[in-house]
A and B are shown apart, each in its own frame.
Chain A
């Protein structure tokens, strides 16, 4: 991990050390000194890992270079053809754009609501537990089922539009207007998950020593300054965690559009995973679907790496 070990002159030494560490003689010597029960105890995991993680992982990449239809016996090797098709597939780009819209609404909203509620819940108030229970409730219930409920709330003649009408405001096509549908889903997803992120912020807030605030207070820092220079920097790890986890959640969006819109109207809520699902289970194109999965995993990896790089701040007090 240290940056200095990467010099050219050291490379030989590093290699020979690695060779020495991996020499069969040394491994054998170390293993004989080991507790054999240890190997026995990790064996179930090793078997599970081989069959249900390593094999599917390798097979995913195998599928991407084959025209693999589950009902057709011949499954020819096609090289990079699946990737070429994918990058020219307008629906793939549409789904990617939809994901961007989702994230653009979801992440700021999620952070704002979670942080606000966490700060309020961190105050010495009565019945905090009761409120926490309410905020966390959506998180413990099934996304598929609550989507059935929101489908009714968002319907053109649903509860939300009835409430708007009662206030003399025009109906909104929450799920029927292509410009509004994806933001509507992002709002619903925020409702669903914000309890979880709120807990992450709350745990971090509670870990900040009170002494810091007391000293700042005595030195004349006002509330905003205390938030800006103490709370906010010390929340950085939690902040990154929330951004990264909501991004992963956004790329994984499936059940909400599956239940509420089926990807419509006009493909405006087609998510990457929904597209993967359609390719695999409506058109049985497993090779192509696996290609979407691999590209999706790479996207998640790259985007979250960039986020970490740009958001990480050194804090020391």
Chain B
């Protein structure tokens, strides 16, 4: 696609160069995929081959999944994670886009100040707020509850930042025309801006959902009661606690259940991940 590429390896014929690159890429890809392949195959391996190096199970079994479902309420955890992080993601999309809209399309005194404060909050390391935020949740009586997981992440500075940058690029004439027709600012945001901003909405949505779903630390502080545990939390505790009792197959089966939704989301929405990364600073 590109003409003269910057870091072309010279002194090799085109074919040899290509072969070298493909070899490098393939070895790399194998190294990256191996832990996943190990997880996948171990989850289905029979008891006699669990510790063998073969990647394709010789005596495939669903026994490990059966063990997981009888030992921990993993269905409940799946439900909890889906509920908590879908609600949180919806909240981030609505509230962050309202703020992002105000910061990009409405004129008011102090706008730049608010935006700078938001940028500053992105620089506060999470560990600084971890303990005081936990104490706050205890005082609010929100331990062992859904709101303790959802509310501290209801608006995100990342979301506001992304929405502000994107909403800026929408032509003013569209907004003016709607205002002439008597549309309220909320109508403009949700009826005109949102339909034009599907990529950034998906990007922010995916990153918010992924961040929540994969988190272990915060749920493990806030929720001890097994009723409210998230999937990542429950599977991790199952894997390191005594409950799995060293059953490698069951640990890998439960791990597979925990990571599979994220892998599916990733495969479906790949290009939005790239936009999220590109949007956060590279071209800034």
Contacts and interface: CB of A to CB of B under 8 A. Distances in A.
Interface of A: 27, 30-31, 33-39, 41-42, 44-46, 48-49, 51-53, 55-57, 59-60, 63, 70, 116-117, 119-125, 129-131, 133-138, 140-153, 157, 159, 162-163, 166, 191, 195-196, 199-200, 203-205, 207-208, 210, 213-214, 217, 222-223, 226-227, 230-231, 237-238, 241, 248, 251-252, 254-255, 258-259, 272-273, 276-277, 280-281, 286, 289-290, 293-294, 296-297, 300
Contacts of B180: none
Contacts of B102: 37-38, 41-42
Given A31-B109, A297-B127, A141 B270 contact: no
B232 A145 contact: yes
A153 B127 CA distance: 29
Contact of B3 (A49, A149, A214): A214
A163 B54 CA distance: 11
Contacts of A196: 277
Contact of A134 (B29, B53, B121, B127): B29
Given A42-B114, A53-B129, A149-B255, A281 B214 contact: no
7 contacts: A31-B110, A41-B99, A56-B133, A70-B135, A143-B214, A252-B126, A297-B125
Contacts of A230: 6
B6 A122 contact: yes
Nearest to B219: A144
B210 A38 contact: no
B216 interface: yes
A22 to B, nearest CB: 11
A133 B33 CA distance: 10
B108 A146 contact: no
Contacts of B216: 142-144, 255, 258
A226 B8 CA distance: 9
A69 to B, nearest CB: 11
A36 B108 CA distance: 7
B7 interface: yes
Interface in B125-155: 125-136, 138, 151-152, 154-155
Contacts of A143: 214, 216
Given A145-B239, A203-B277, A259-B240, 16 more contacts: A31-B108, A38-B102, A42-B99, A45-B99, A57-B132, A129-B270, A145-B214, A145-B235, A146-B259, A153-B35, A162-B53, A203-B283, A207-B283, A213-B6, A252-B126, A255-B217
Nearest to B94: A44
B8 A63 contact: no
Nearest to A241: B281
Contacts of B274: 199, 203
Nearest to B98: A41
B139 to A, nearest CB: 10
Contact of B8 (A46, A223, A238): A223
A249 B221 CA distance: 20
B154 A134 contact: no
B18 interface: yes
Contacts of B31: 191
B239 to A, nearest CB: 4
Given A140-B266, A141-B262, A142-B214, A45 B155 contact: yes
Interface stretch (B19-27, B70-78, B82-90, B190-198): B19-27
A31 B184 CA distance: 20
A123 B20 CA distance: 12
B16 interface: no
Contacts of B36: 137, 149
Contact of A273 (B127, B232, B277): B127
B1 A45 contact: no
A33 B110 CA distance: 12
B175 interface: no
Interface string B89-120: 00000010011011100111111001001100
Nearest to B26: A131
